[in-house]
Structure 1
Amino acid sequence: MGTPIQQLFDLTGKTALVTGGSRGLGLQIAEALGEAGAKILLTSRKAADLEEASAELQSKGIDTRWIAADASDPEQIQRVASEAMERLGQIDILVNNAGATWGAPAEDHPLEAWDKVMNLNIRSIFLMSQAVGKLSMIPRKGGRIINVASIAGLSGASSEMKFIAYGTSKGAVVNFTRTLAGEWGPYGITVNALAPGMFPSKMTKDTLEAVGADKIAAHAPLRRIGDDDDLKGAALLFASQAGKHITGQILAVDGGVSAVHG
Structure 2
Amino acid sequence: MHIRDQIVLVTGGARGLGLAITQALIAEGAKVVVNYHSSQHTAAQLMAQHPKQVFAVQADVTNKAEVERLFAQAKAHFGTAIHSVVNNALVHFEFNGDARPKLEDLTAEGMTRQFDGAVLAALYTTQAALADMKQAGFGRIVNIGTNLVQNPVVPYHDYTTAKAALLAFTRTAAQDLGQYGINVNMLSGGLLQSTDASKATPDFVFDLIASSTPLRRVTTPDEFAAAILMFLSPYSRAVTGQNLIVDGGLVKG
- My pick for the range that moved more, 103-112 or 216-225, is 216-225
**Does residue 1:133 correspond to 2:124, yes or no?**
no
- Asked if structure 1 preserves the Cα contact closer than 8 Å seen for 2:210 and 2:217, the reply is yes
Q: Structure 1 CA distance, aligned partners of 2:52 and 2:247?
A: 28
Q: Which secondary structure state, in structure 2, belongs to the residue aligned with residue 191 of structure 1?
A: strand
1:80-126 per-residue CA deviation (whole Å, 9 max, x = no partner) reads: 12222222321111111112336211110232221111111111111
Task: For structure 1, list consecutive stretches of 5 or more residues without a partner in the other structure.
Answer: 1-7
Distance 2:233 2:242 in 1: 15
Deviates most, 175-184 or 71-80 = 71-80
* Aligned CA distance change for structure 1 residues 83 and 177 (closer, same or farther; 3 Å): same
Query: Post-superposition shift, 1:127?
Result: 1.3
Q: Name which of 49, 68, 73 aligns with 1:83.
A: 73
CA RMSD of superposed structures (Å):
2.1
Q: Structure 1 residues 54 and 193, CA, compared in 2 at 3 Å: closer, same or farther?
A: farther
The one of 11, 18, 32 equivalent to 2:10 is 18
- Per-residue CA deviation, residues 50-76 of structure 1 (Å, 9 max, x unaligned), is 441452476478711101111122221
Of the three residues 151, 172, 176, the one matched with 2:147 is: 151
Q: 1:60–1:209: structure 2 CA closer, same or farther, 3 Å change rule?
A: farther
- Report the CA distance shift for 1:133/1:211 in structure 2 as closer, same or farther (over 3 A): farther
Find the aligned partners of 2:160 and 2:234 in 1 and give their Cα distance.
31
Contact 1:69-1:76 within 8 A present in 2 as well? yes
Matched, 1:216 2:209: yes
**Which of 51, 56, 66 matches 1:66?**
56
Q: Deviations over 1:128-161 (max 9, x none)?
A: 1111113x21122111111111112234x23xx2
In the TM superposition, structure 1's runs of 4+ consecutive aligned residues that sit over 3 Å from their partners are: 56-62
Look up the match of 1:5: none
Structure 2 distance, partners of 1:69, 1:196, is 25
- Distance in 2, matches of 1:133 and 1:211, equals 44
Secondary structure at 2:18's aligned position in 1?
A: helix
Unaligned residue ranges in structure 2 (runs of 5+): 95-99
How many aligned residue pairs are there? 245
Q: Equivalent residue of 2:188, what SS?
A: strand
Do the aligned residues in 1 keep the contact of 2:36 with 2:43 (CA within 8 Å)?
Answer: no
| 1:166 maps onto 2:159 in alignment | yes
- Conserved in 1, the CA contact under 8 Å of 2:209 and 2:218? yes
